[in-house]
Amino acid sequence: MTERPLTGHARPDRRPHSLAEWRALGGYAAVERALRMAPADVINLVDQAHLNGRGGAGFPAARKWRFMPPHAPAPGEGPRYLIVNGDEMEPGAFKDRFLLEALPHQVIEGAIIAAHAMHVSEAIVLIRDAYRPGIAAMERAIAEAREAGLLGDNILGLGIELTMRVHPSAGRYIVGEETALIEALEGKRAVPRKRPPFPAQSGLWGRPTTVNNVETISLVPHILANGAQWFRAQSRTTEGGTKLYGVSGRVNRPQLIEAPMGTTARELIDRCGGVSGSGVLRAFQPGGGATGFLEADDLDTPLDFSHMERAGSTFGTGTLIVLDQTVCPIGVTARHMRFYARESCGWCTPCREGLPWAARILDALEAGTARRGDLDVLRMTAGEAGPRGRSFCDLMGGAIAPLASALARFEDLFEAHLEGGCPLHGARP
């Protein structure tokens, strides 16, 4: 499956494969190859493939793996951890759910390979608690792999050890931040940690830890099976591989689409049957609810991390939210802001105070009770709180992104709201 390596074997009803079925499709061949390679050679191959993380930040996977200590731990030193992050709570994101439910053995394969590359002996798949079918599928697949000797103390008779388990998350957006995730796994309040030390130095229980997104891990077996050059060739840009794009909002057939990295929003929207509602695009968010709005002029910009940054937004999770001309972007931004205000851990002042403040002003704009000075407050909040480094973690920057872009792109609509509320009657995508 070269055109849809991630999803080509998925069943239409998402029914997961048994281990026997998966192996008949070539499953775990990549694991057998990887475990016979030196860990450093596995990392080099992933580096050559140009795999960027698919969790939102787009950080190169191999570079992240190299932050871990390069040598195996000494006897009695303690475990190292790999955490596969499936706490998918970004508004508009629903890609990891599909991979967990339909293709759990693919996730396990990737985790085994990544763990070998980093001398990891314990892997934890953290899954949003609402994803019950995904939790069940992963637990069954892990049990099958363990029974077959693909997990445990002596994988494939090669003396390699890896245990794996599922941890259902209590369900908070902040748990998607890797150090808050680690705090939650330790049974603490989910608050991001001060860095340094970084997780690769001191993570879960003080041990070296790497956190990778479900989609990132799911791509790893295909690199090992087909090579770095093949993986790069799947992309239209310098960022390798295919991408599991989500498209939701005002389109006729919302769906997940696996396509080459660098596919355009126009192509994805066309594959979804075009814009619904008025049939005319007003705007779209290219990577979920924590990304800035783009407009029709950006429809043909390649969707990847570097191109979206140059366009004035971010790629995020690669899950588009589409707005037609009947949908008010101020109303959409207000809904996003209420979500982020609720999901903030409350640790630092910009998030704890700034997000609810902005949410209240946006609600007042929708209701027609805002004052002109409120726009100045929103601009100040977007300008002062948005840049990275102004808050304890990156949640604030992502939360402010739609507000900052809406203020820049839809000034006329903000002005119209001051004259008596939403002129579009508060329509939502």
Dump pLDDT digits (tens) for 65-122.
999 999 999 988 999 999 999 999 999 999 999 999 999 999 999 999 999 999 999 9
Q: How far is it, in rounded angstroms, from Cα 219 to Cα 243?
A: 9
Residue 1 lies in a domain: no
Same domain, 259 and 382: no
201: confidence class by pLDDT, cuts 50, 70, 90: very high
**Domain-terminating residue out of 233, 267, 297:** 233
Residue 424 has a pLDDT of 82
Q: How far is it, in rounded angstroms, from Cα 233 to Cα 263?
A: 13
Q: Is 364 helix (H, G, I), strand (E, B) or coil?
A: helix
Indicate the pairing of strand 160-169 with strand 122-128: parallel
Residue 387 has a pLDDT of 52
* Mean pLDDT (whole number) for 261-267: 98
**Domain-terminating residue out of 304, 324, 344:** 324
Residue 349 has a pLDDT of 84
Smallest CA-to-CA distance from 124 within 88, 153, 163 is with 163
More confident residue, 333 or 172: 333
Same domain, 160 and 109: yes
For residues 17 and 9, the answer to whether their CB atoms sit within 8 Å is yes
Residue 3 lies in a domain: no
Same domain, 252 and 394: no
Q: How far is it, in rounded angstroms, from Cα 277 to Cα 325?
A: 8
Residue 157 lies in a domain: yes
Residue 257 lies in a domain: yes
Q: Is 283 helix (H, G, I), strand (E, B) or coil?
A: strand
The region of weakest confidence among 25-34, 101-110, 170-179 is 170-179
Same domain, 128 and 151: yes
User: Residues of 150-163 as b/e, b for ≥16 C-beta within 10 angstroms?
Assistant: bbeeebeeeebebe
Residue 386 lies in a domain: yes
Distances in whole angstroms, Cα of residue 37 to Cα of each of 30, 169, 179, 272, 358: 11, 34, 30, 42, 52
Same domain, 208 and 95: yes
**Domain-terminating residue out of 233, 264, 285:** 233
Residue 425 lies in a domain: no
pLDDT at 396 over 90: no
Name the residue range of residue 253's domain.
Answer: 242-324
Same domain, 398 and 277: no
Same domain, 181 and 201: yes
Residue 423 lies in a domain: no
Same domain, 339 and 318: no
Identify the CATH number of the domain in which residue 182 sits: 3.40.50.11540
* Mean pLDDT (whole number) for 126-145: 97
* Mean pLDDT (whole number) for 234-253: 97
| DSSP-assigned letters across all residues of 194-232 | PSSSPTTTS-GGGS-EEEEEHHHHHHHHHHHHH-HHHHH
The region of weakest confidence among 111-120, 261-270, 338-347 is 338-347
Task: Give how many domains the chain has, as a whole number.
Answer: 3
Residue 307 lies in a domain: yes
Same domain, 123 and 94: yes
Same domain, 263 and 144: no
Same domain, 260 and 348: no
pLDDT at 428 over 50: no
Same domain, 201 and 254: no
